[in-house]
Structure 1
Amino acid sequence: MITRRDFMKFVGGGFASAMALGGYAFAFEPLARLNVTRYALTPPGWTPGLKLRVVALADIHACEPWVSASRIASICRQANDLGGDITVLLGDYATGMNFVTRYIHSSEWSKALAILQAPLGVHAVMGNHDWWEDKTAQRNGGGTTFAHRALSDVGINVYSNRAIRLEKDGRGFWLAGLEDQRALIAGKKWKRKHIQGLDDLDGTLAQVGDSDPVILLAHEPDIFPRVPTRVALTLSGHTHGGQVRFLGHSPMVPSRFGDRYAYGHVIEDDRTLIISGGLGCSIGPIRFGVPPEIVVVDLG
């Protein structure tokens, strides 16, 4: 028979555990952890002898206290030390969260991102929050956002349905960047039927002029079922790994495919996708089982 003392110990222990778990999820993992997640692969159709290291940052969601300008600068310095040939930014620089002590202006977070350096340059696409937080761009139904302009102003290459050819050691590859798939909202932003994309996959890939491999930057991974085998690697963010992840599964993922494209390395029909868990938080400042990360991909 359980005594009142034993019951109170049980309740007290459970409460203490819940407080510790909550403190970890709300404070330690979002603020104090930063992983470097590495992948090594040779996709089908990759050029023999072309060895390329890609460093990817996603979903910064700049705001205080969670991802301050100084924290962004620190992350960028660590990214530079990883020896990437090329650095890519996968969207969502602006925050979409109300639990903040201060919103960070685009001139501040872009200045921090300007620290990034790589021999083949730093290249960026937009995310949905970069569009959603720009009321002027929403009214115009397109054009450029403050995030487009802020990154361009500090010398970062910004892609909006554009592809360019790059070379390393005399071997070429293509970098293609899609405009966001959930850019424009009408009415209540959380109703999917009111969201319109500005992405043009076919038009972007039509710019690829030879048989060299293609790396595609697409903020949301939901485009992946439409990506042809012509693309060697698709890099995405957006999901944050679900922000809460248990035993390799995420209960809530902002994707119409659910956990299928929540996080990590996905191979389907000889097509390869890597989804970053990102750096910041959206909706609420919580992460559990999917700490902020810098992604490193070694190709070839």
Structure 2
Amino acid sequence: MEVLILIILAILILFGEMFFEVNYPRITEVNFNTNKLPQGTSLKILQVSDVHGEDFTTNLLNQIKLKEPDIIVITGDLIDRNTSNFNNAYKLVEELIMVTPHVFFVSGNHEWDNDRNVDFLLGLKKRHVLILNNSNTTVGIKNTSINICGVDDFHTDHSDLGLAAKGINNKFFTVLLSHSPGIVEEKYLLGDLVLSGHTHGGQVRFPLIGGIVAPGQGLFPKLQKGIYNLEHGKKLYIDSGLGTSALPIRFLNRSQVSLITIKGSSSVH
């Protein structure tokens, strides 16, 4: 009987942990330094990824507002491939655009797989979200400028780095938004910092092993979550996302958004 009680308690604790990690997102903070921004300048970029049409707005938005991000980027899969009602996604972006007018979006594989993709993107545009579909823009903020570039989904073969880089001024710090981190396989990678999602951090993780599976990478993926050093001093950061796919579970991998602070180190500007 005692063994049975312990088993039941262990199962309850396990399910409670998974429920918490899916439904109570946190803000993960990371910092990067660059000599392309003036010394003493800090830009805060909030990254939202892989929402999959879920509703996380109430508690999460209160946390986001307190952080006062300068720029918000949404790195794909804001909806699921089966999402037919876009209200949750639209409600989220309407709240985000009130935090800062600088809100950018790139499509993920689920947007491309959704039959109403065109309608959804039109709704984002109407809500003043700038969609970077293999394109770029320069944002002037805090007496400096940075480039925000976006590629369409690499995983579904819609990315075009050459087009995304057209007309870019490389003297400015450049952030590349790509839903899939697989974009770093490209020979001529654009950007000083690549922000991606798609992997869900493996969704289910175990100590010493890490993520079990990620889309496009299979079992024990190489690119899971967090910071990766690339060639020529470039960095990749993968946000493990808010939502889930396949199964609505997470383990040792709490749902999140990321607050990325870019700190300037240059004394000549």
Shorter-chain TM-score tier: 0.7 to 0.9
**1:225-254: CA deviation from partner (whole Å, max 9, x where unpaired):** 327565111101111111111236111121
What's the secondary structure of 1:54's corresponding residue?
Answer: strand
Matched, 1:78 2:63: yes
What's the secondary structure of 1:209's corresponding residue?
Answer: coil
CA contact (8 A) 1:175 1:216 kept: yes
Matched, 1:266 2:266: no
The equivalent residue for 2:215 is 254
Q: Aligned letter for 2:27?
A: V
Q: Aligned letter for 1:277?
A: S
Q: Aligned letter for 1:213?
A: F
CA contact (8 A) 1:52 1:299 kept: yes
Q: Aligned letter for 1:89?
A: I
**Identity over aligned residues, as a percent?**
24
Q: Which runs of 5+ in 1 are unaligned?
A: 1-7, 98-102, 138-144, 184-196
**Cα distance, 1:80–1:220 mapped onto 2, change above 3 Å:** same
The equivalent residue for 1:34 is 25
CA drift at 1:171: 1.7
The equivalent residue for 2:85 is 105
* Equivalent residues, number: 258
Among 76, 84, 87, the alignment partner of 1:91 is: 76
What's the secondary structure of 2:162's corresponding residue?
Answer: helix
TM-score of the aligned structures, taking structure 2 as reference length: 0.86
The equivalent residue for 2:267 is none
Among 121, 131, 141, the alignment partner of 2:112 is: 131
Tell me, in whole angstroms, the C-alpha distance in 2 between the residues paired with 1:36 and 1:104: 28
CA contact (8 A) 1:77 1:115 kept: no
Q: Which runs of 5+ in 2 are unaligned?
A: 264-269
**1:30-72: CA deviation from partner (whole Å, max 9, x where unpaired):** 12x22110001114x533334211011111112xxxx33xx33
Higher-strand-fraction structure: 2
The equivalent residue for 2:159 is 199
Tell me, in whole angstroms, the C-alpha distance in 1 between the residues paired with 2:216 and 2:51: 19
**Cα distance, 1:85–1:20 mapped onto 2, change above 3 Å:** same
Among 18, 31, 40, the alignment partner of 2:11 is: 18
CA drift at 1:215: 0.3
CA contact (8 A) 2:132 2:149 kept: yes
Tell me, in whole angstroms, the C-alpha distance in 2 between the residues paired with 1:228 and 1:73: 41
**1:190-234: CA deviation from partner (whole Å, max 9, x where unpaired):** xxxxxxx11101221133134212100100111113275651111
Work out which of the two has the higher radius of gyration on C-alpha atoms and give 1 or 2: 1
